[in-house]
Amino acid sequence: MELCIIFGGIALLERQERVSQLGLAVADFAAALRLWPLWTRLGWNDILYRYRRSTLGPFWSTVNVAVTVIALGLVYSEIFKLPVRQLMPFVCAGLIVWSFISAILLEAGGLFSGSESYIKQVRLPYTLYVFRFVFSKIMLFLHDIPIYLVLLLYFQIWPGLALAWAIPGFVLLSINCTFASLAIGMASARFRDIPRIIASLTQVLFLVTPIIWMPDLLGSRHMLAAGNPFFHLIEIVRAPLLGMAPSTDTIMVMLAMTVLNMLVTATVFLRFRARIAYWI
């Protein structure tokens, strides 16, 4: 098949005799990056839309997390016989990261099927919808950060320079979330059961991953945490927030996961990109 690609009026590949599927997929990605004014705006509008005309706006998500952190921190420190000062920052950092991950998992399924009106009316790069989605989730994540800062002030904790690790850690996490969103979005556009399956899994993941309980509690069965990829996804950001550099294990698992995630998603995208419009 030959095709000259025009994205929203921008000619990308001007008359190539043979455009491969690889070329089209790469062009899709490159064009989406260039259209950042559009996806940041759409992503931000998505947030405004959700919290429209509420006084707190996106800070409602902050309030949600804050209430959960305080409630769980108080109760679980009693259950586990740990000082609140130790457990509450742990729970808080974990929950902030988890709410980012779970929002991605739960909502990525509607990424393409929810944009049907756009996809069927105007040709835009498919990855633009992914960037829009992940961008809005990152913005919500940033709205949750103040809770943690308040907690640090309250307990007079200073995590130290290890805190800087949180930035590359979050970048790596976001890259993984971007790939996962694209894969989940495509799979869900084709198989409408997938969002339901993910919803049940997410609930289980929250309970079996050390978020509201500390991994030390597993004792000799620590593999139950170390073998869980979501533990590392959280830990790569949580450890620096708590003042520790992420462990070598976590970094290695994260890097390996990123490569795997990229390969799988790239394969799916290369093979089925052109089908998305037909599926929705």
Site for another protein, rule CB under 8 A: 1-11, 14-15, 17, 24, 35, 37-38, 41-42, 45, 48-49, 52-53, 117-124, 274, 277-279
Nearest approach in angstroms of CB 138 to another protein is 20
Cα gap 123→120, rounded to integer Å: 8
Q: Tell me the longest C-alpha to C-alpha distance in the chain.
A: 70
Q: Pairing relation of β-strands 5-7 and 10-13? A: antiparallel
| Of residues 151 and 276, the one with the C-beta less far from another protein | 276
Nearest approach in angstroms of CB 4 to another protein is 5
| Of residues 77 and 127, the one with the C-beta less far from another protein | 127
Nearest approach in angstroms of CB 181 to another protein is 21
| Of residues 128 and 253, the one with the C-beta less far from another protein | 128
Cα gap 147→241, rounded to integer Å: 12
| Of residues 8 and 227, the one with the C-beta less far from another protein | 8
Nearest approach in angstroms of CB 51 to another protein is 11
The residue to which tokens 């105007």 are assigned: 122
| Of residues 128 and 254, the one with the C-beta less far from another protein | 128
Nearest approach in angstroms of CB 274 to another protein is 4
| Of residues 142 and 277, the one with the C-beta less far from another protein | 277
What is the DSSP secondary-structure string of the chain? ----EEETTEEEE-S-S---HHHHHHHHHHHHHHTHHHHHHHHHHHHHHHTTT-SSTTHHHHHHHHHHHHHHHHHHHHHTT--HHHHHHHHHHHHHHHHHHHHHHHHTTHHHHTTHHHHTTS---HHHHHHHHHHHHHHHHHHHHHHHHHHHHHHT----GGGGGHHHHHHHHHHHHHHHHHHHHHHHHH-TTHHHHHHHHHHHHHHHSTTSS-GGGGGGGTHHHHT-HHHHHHHHHHHHHTT-PPPHHHHHHHHHHHHHHHHHHHHHHHHHGGGHHHH-
Nearest approach in angstroms of CB 99 to another protein is 25
Nearest approach in angstroms of CB 179 to another protein is 23
| Of residues 124 and 211, the one with the C-beta less far from another protein | 124
Cα gap 274→279, rounded to integer Å: 10
| Of residues 80 and 118, the one with the C-beta less far from another protein | 118
Nearest approach in angstroms of CB 173 to another protein is 28
